[in-house]
Amino acid sequence: MTTQSTSTSGAAGSRETGSDPRSTTVAEHGSQEGGSLQGRRVGWIGTGIMGRSMAGHLLRAGCRVVVHSRTRAKAEPLLAEGAIWAETPAEAARDADFVGLNVGMPHELDDVTFGPRGVFEGLGKSAVLVDFGTSKPSAARRLAARAAELGASALDAPVSGGDIGARNATLSIMVGGETEAFVKAEPYFARLGKTVVHHGPAGSGQRVKIVNQVLVAANTLGMCEALHFAAATGLDPQRVLQSVGGGAAASWSISVLAPRVIGGDFEPGFIVDHMLKDLRIARDEAGEIGLELPMIELCVARYEALVAAGFGRKGTQGLYLLYRGG
């Protein structure tokens, strides 16, 4: 795993007090992949497609993991491995060294943190709260401010890599927040991802995730349209992938999602509803700083059409369904 910390925020150019720009590998930083998490207390909220695998890695690393999810059935595989069920987010956070959040929608994030019996009612001093989901940068700053009031700390650490990255612990983790909190969280990040980069103050990780989602959404749209063209012209799609997958068009969408499209598999690694939410966040954030970004508008329109067609719970490769008429 490679980690990198930076003292500046690219958007604002602000310097974070006490931070030290560096790039380290596992061999150079023994507290990461080789660091023991045995007996560490982890609270985890959200055990869906991504969260279940991520919490499982920490459980198998020796952590005492207390989980809460809106639907207990989704947590059952973790409970069978030895995780402990919490009736509320506050209960999951109580006495934890590290609290991970992986919920899908902004209102869910508010509910599990600021809501009644939410995380902030149980979060202890010196704990690190990490939001692994995608939310507005302003929400990340709000989480960090409230955690600081309680003597704790919060990081925004959205991830990329989909269900495969979560299962294989090869996620890319984009981190915003105080350097001290980042250093405390590194041993946990090392169990979850292959690439971990600290980008600056609270909200910086969410801004990088916006960059990521615009790239992914545009790439997936292009992949689906290209495969539709290939099919319409009588080309063998498997042979097409052999050609384009080894050239300049190579991408995660081509290598991972395109074979699913060809096989008629539109089940989610990352669901359409969540991608649309992320793109709307991107559009709002761009608007707040006075940018006009037509690619975002195009992607929002296409994903909105997919949701309107009844495919909001499909995977993002479901865009192909718009071309074949469902």
Active site residues: 209
| Alpha helix segments (H runs only) across 82-159 | 89-93, 106-113, 137-149
Distance separating alpha carbons of residues 229 and 227, to the nearest angstrom: 5
CB 275 within 8 A of CB 311: no
Q: Which two tokens stand for residue 164?
A: 């495969």
Report DSSP letters for 99-117, one per residue.
Answer: EEE--SSHHHHHHHHTSTT
CB 112 within 8 A of CB 144: no
Q: Which two tokens stand for residue 139?
A: 């929400």
Report DSSP letters for 221-255, one per residue.
Answer: HHHHHHHHHHHHTT--HHHHHHHHTTSTT--HIII
Length of the chain: 326
Distance separating alpha carbons of residues 205 and 181, to the nearest angstrom: 14
Distance separating alpha carbons of residues 298 and 292, to the nearest angstrom: 12
What pairs with residue 64 in β-bridges? 41
| Alpha helix segments (H runs only) across 233-319 | 237-244, 252, 258-262, 272-288, 294-308
Distance separating alpha carbons of residues 93 and 287, to the nearest angstrom: 35
Query: What DSSP state is assigned to residue 87?
Result: S
